Structure 1
Amino acid sequence: MEPLLLLLLFWGVPIVLGYVFGQIAEKRHYRSIHAREQAWLHLPTTAGRHPVTDGRVTRSELVTAGTVVSADYFKRAAAALRTVIGGRVKSHESLLDRARREAVLRLKERCRGAHEIVNLRLETAPLSTTNAGGVSAVEVFAYGTALYFAHPPQHEIHAVAARAE
């Protein structure tokens, strides 16, 4: 067999397989994120320090959640090319987007019964790096303060009534 053909097979097959299966997994994860975000629209979340709704807070608690998302083989190969060429690494933008959104969703899922989350913060860190200096996995840690009001805010009442219909 030609050395060029062997080289093409050696690099081409994993890249194509990584692209196909990576796209399938990413689309499946985004579908899950979209569905869960719709289910949690009733829980306002803000990076601000003060509640966005009025009411007497009866309880508050620190809530935390984290996630780790890994890049597929194709994203790693594309990122390695970008380190040589320069420019935006679009392949990793979706990786960070998915990780951040997943961390916020897990945070919301941990504080069932809360009426609002304030002071939301996200910490992002590369978990592992490749030999070329690229990121192969990212960890996102979300934390905030869950507030529980004496009387549920109006948006909560409307959201509960809409889900009951």
Structure 2
Amino acid sequence: MIGFGIFLVLLAIGFFAGRANESRHLHSLDIREQELSHIIVSTTKHIPDGYNQSQLIAGNVVISIDYFKRIAAMLRALVGGRIESYTTLLDRARREAIVRLLEQADDMGAHMVANLRIETSSVFQNAQNQIGSLEVYAYATALR
């Protein structure tokens, strides 16, 4: 009975702390994306005319799933379907990696980012193939 109580307390802490952390992070991303919206982002491999300097830039992030979302994902995996907690985690990680890449481009005075590519990998997977953390690596060519 005590073990179940501890489980419920951890679940509640994970829910409220995770939700607050995610909300803060999403708000920060919204602000930073708006500040960097002057940089043109393209996935094309071809560099348009008028740019005479280029440099490889990258941004990466590792984000971990909180306790509540981990339990919710395990329950959802039992019945099948879309695991929303992982979808949200992946979206946050992707946005953060791109923002970090754009911040690097902005620091060097770039006006455009071309050939944007994104790679993902799961980190700290356990024996049941449950993802503990997710890494997103974004790289591109910054143009001035």
If the length of structure 1 is used for normalisation, what is the TM-score? Answer: 0.81
Taking the aligned partners of 1:139 and 1:20, their CA distance within structure 2 comes to 24
Taking the aligned partners of 1:14 and 1:133, their CA distance within structure 2 comes to 22
Superposed counterparts of 1:73-152, under 5 Å: 73-112=67-106, 113-148=109-144
**Aligned AA for 1:20?**
F
If the length of structure 2 is used for normalisation, what is the TM-score? Answer: 0.93
Assess if the C-alpha contact under 8 Å between 1:80 and 1:132 holds in 2.
no
CA RMSD of aligned residues (A): 1.3
- 1:69 and 2:63 are equivalent in the alignment: yes
How many angstroms does 1:92 deviate by?
A: 0.9
Range 36-45 or range 132-141, more displaced: 132-141
- Aligned match of 1:50: 46
Taking the aligned partners of 1:117 and 1:48, their CA distance within structure 2 comes to 10
How many angstroms does 1:46 deviate by?
A: 1.2
- Aligned match of 2:26: 30
Identity across aligned pairs (percent)?
39
* 3-state secondary structure, aligned to 2:63: strand
How many angstroms does 1:55 deviate by?
A: 4.2
User: Where does structure 1 differ by over 3 angstroms across 4 or more consecutive aligned residues?
Assistant: none
Structure 2, gaps ≥5 residues long:
none
Taking the aligned partners of 1:39 and 1:125, their CA distance within structure 2 comes to 28
How many aligned residue pairs are there? 142
